[in-house]
Amino acid sequence: MSLAEADRELVVAELGRDPTPTEEALFENLWSEHCAYRSSRPLLSAFDSAGDQVVVGPGDDAAVVALPDAAGEGYSEEWYVTLGIESHNHPSYVDPFDGAATGVGGIVRDTLSMGAYPIALADSLYFGPFEREHSRYLMDGVVEGIGHYGNCIGVPTVTGSVAFHEDYVGNPLVNVACVGLLNDDRLVTAVAQEPGNALVLLGNGTGRDGLGGASFASEDLAEDAETEDRPAVQVGDPYAEKRLVECNEALLDEDLVRSARDLGAAGLGGASSELVAKGGLGAAIELERVHQREPDMHPLEILLAESQERMVYEVRPEDVDRVAELADRFHLGCSVIGEVTDGNYTCTFTDEAGETETVVDVSAEYLADGAPMNDLDHVDPEPQERDLPDVDLAAAFEAVVGAPSTASKAWVYRQYDHEVGTRTAVGPGGDAALVAIREADTGLAFSSGAEPNWTTANPYEGARAVALENATNVAATGARPLAAVDCLNGGNPEKPDVYGGFRAIVDGLADMCGDLSVPVVGGNVSLYNDSASGPIPPTPTLAMVGAKAGYEAPSSAFTGEGTLLVVGDGALAGEDAGLGGSELLAQVGGTDRFPTLPEAPAELVDALADVAADGATLAVHDASHGGLAVTLAEMVTDDAGATVTLDADASAAELLFHEQAGRAVVETSDPDAVREAFDDVAPVAEVGETDGSGALSLTVAGETLDYDAATIRDLRSVVERELE
């Protein structure tokens, strides 16, 4: 760890002296890209985070959003959900199991620090090509790590996404989101309240694992990262985390917490300095008081180690003994490490000989918020031109339906306990999960993901499509979007073309969320996802929640009893669709412009939510990745199939494989009601009827393809066959 010379000069000027070695390391980590967002913060003002439903917006460990009230006329003043997302990309390359597992642990503790109980997780995962052995090794370890940690702590993983792309070969992405539930009298923030209050460290002992994790996450991955960077990866203990979850509940029950912060990046130094800085205060910390699990730790290690399952609480002096009693009840370590002050952020260390040294004495605000922002050059991405190969329709259908990115992910989510907690009304495998918030008689829809093919083809339009697709997923359950958080993943921002693509995904995501009136209430930025094999695609993972009355949703599979309509499809309305960013072109080669998105996305999403909630609607399925080919294949079951005809001026390939976001297949017993709902909003095309055949008969521009459920299931099982 070493502070950049330009930054060191700023620190020397501010302090009026050379920093101590511990101060220098602390600044290096807290001023890293991972903590300070030096290359991205100037761009984030593009997001609108305001709304009547927003209780706590960006800047805290997680956002807090009010649920709709029972009358549906406003927002509850009692029941809130938290929403947060984080990345654990570099650690998951170096150590897939522990890197992914500790990502789950971190986002759960972010939830706890707001006073919420975690009720659902989502994981969005991105790997190199599936046929590569190393990609499968990484996927296997990451999925096992997420499943192990989530299952052990009793928080269901209910939704997410998995994508494979050549440009993740040297740098996979592991993005994890968490939803929590709380009521208004349990809300806590990371803003320190009052000088004289104690600072209490609670949880596992501090070791040497994870040292320099924040700075490690702010650099490109080297070829030898799997061996050389292993000390920067934390090791998780989910059983300690479960005890921490329950202890946190007990602390809140007795109103013992004034403010709280999870120990994540930059460890105790990061959490404690940010906590007091947010309150415009300081701290006096005695580092030797920190409970440790390794001998002879020196101050820098104690301050910056990223050992897991730890939180720092601000506690009134008269409550300290009770906090210690509860920690002991749950077999957790507990140390009173100092107090909140109205001065500087100071850390002292007393050695075994009784010698006391001041190792940190700086302004908390300067440490937490003083990093200068980067002014980087950028090159705007160029749109792709049309260069399409000839394709055999049947071969293309089988290649796209059987592609790892669009095939069944059952092998992944079967490893997760998605029903623990008994709130999961609709689990993984469909468009969005639906979680029962019985306390407010509300169904909470939850969707998460991105599509690297889209943002490779056109970063700006692809990011707009990511936002619209997540909103469509939510609406397919009958819910209306409520709020979102983003995880903005990019390569090395010092490369102008990479930074240009990153800027484009920020603007695209912000613009579509603005068009949808969905506030982006928080998020995470992960840059320097670059390796010897090159930068990742700009990847704007979005996690979105929506709400509806009750917890029922239409099926995402055919029932065999209705008429099939496709809503929102430009190609079926005679428009030039565009195959850019499609799985078809990923399979057969070629380029094309990205599909034109709907002109009235908010109205489309509202209409789809209304249709999904209508009693005549039998099934709804978002149409996006893999186009209508994959959507229709996913809806076939052993007991229900369909006869479908797609016919318009577009080519057969465009009709079947284009990936315009904002479309859905609707099975209904009242087609006229669907047409009326979308009148003057989006086109509606009647494409066939469902039946009890358990097969798909698909005619596209005069050519007919026939597949039974068993054949489709075999095509879609490529991931399971290779990994089991």
Kindly list the catalytic residues. Answer: 34, 88
What region does 190 belong to: left with phi over 0, alpha with psi -120 to 50, or beta?
Answer: alpha
What region does 591 belong to: left with phi over 0, alpha with psi -120 to 50, or beta?
Answer: beta
In sequence order, what are the residues at sequence separation of 6 or more whose Cβ sits closer than 8 angstroms to the Cβ of residue 529?
89, 90, 171, 173, 221, 489, 490, 491, 535, 536
382 CB-contact burial (10 Å; exposed 0-12 / middle 13-18 / buried 19+): exposed
Distance CA(423)–CA(682), nearest Å, equals 34
**For residue 387, what is the DSSP state?**
B
635 CB-contact burial (10 Å; exposed 0-12 / middle 13-18 / buried 19+): buried
Query: Which parts are annotated binding residues for ATP?
Result: 37, 486, 523
Distance CA(722)–CA(130), nearest Å, equals 9
DSSP, residue by residue, 86-141 = EE-HHHHHHSHHHHHHHHHHHHHHHHHTTTPEEEEEEEEEEES-TTSHHHHHHHHH
C-alpha count within 13 angstroms, C-beta hemisphere, residue 256: 24
Distance CA(411)–CA(553), nearest Å, equals 24
DSSP, residue by residue, 425-459 = EE-TTSSSEEEEEGGGTEEEEEEEE--HHHHHH-H
Distance CA(724)–CA(722), nearest Å, equals 6
**39, 222, 269 from 90: Cα distances, Å:** 18, 10, 21
Closest CA to 411 of 105, 100, 716, 91: 716
250 CB-contact burial (10 Å; exposed 0-12 / middle 13-18 / buried 19+): middle
Q: Residue 598: what are its φ and ψ, rounded to 5°? A: -60, 150
Closest CA to 538 of 466, 484, 446: 466
**For residue 486, what is the DSSP state?**
E
What's the full length of the chain, in residues? 724
Distance CA(633)–CA(625), nearest Å, equals 12
Distance CA(607)–CA(620), nearest Å, equals 13
In sequence order, what are the residues at sequence separation of 6 or more whose Cβ sits closer than 8 angstroms to the Cβ of residue 403?
583, 586, 587, 626, 718
Q: Which residue has the tokens 């090794």?
A: 137
Hey, what are 363's tokens?
């302004």
DSSP, residue by residue, 324-345 = HHHHHHTT-EEEEEEEEESS-E
Asked if 510 and 48 touch (Cβ cutoff 8 Å), the reply is: yes
Q: Which residue has the tokens 């967002």?
A: 37
Hey, what are 172's tokens?
């996979």
Closest CA to 206 of 298, 137, 123: 298
Distance CA(436)–CA(547), nearest Å, equals 10
Asked if 698 and 705 touch (Cβ cutoff 8 Å), the reply is: yes
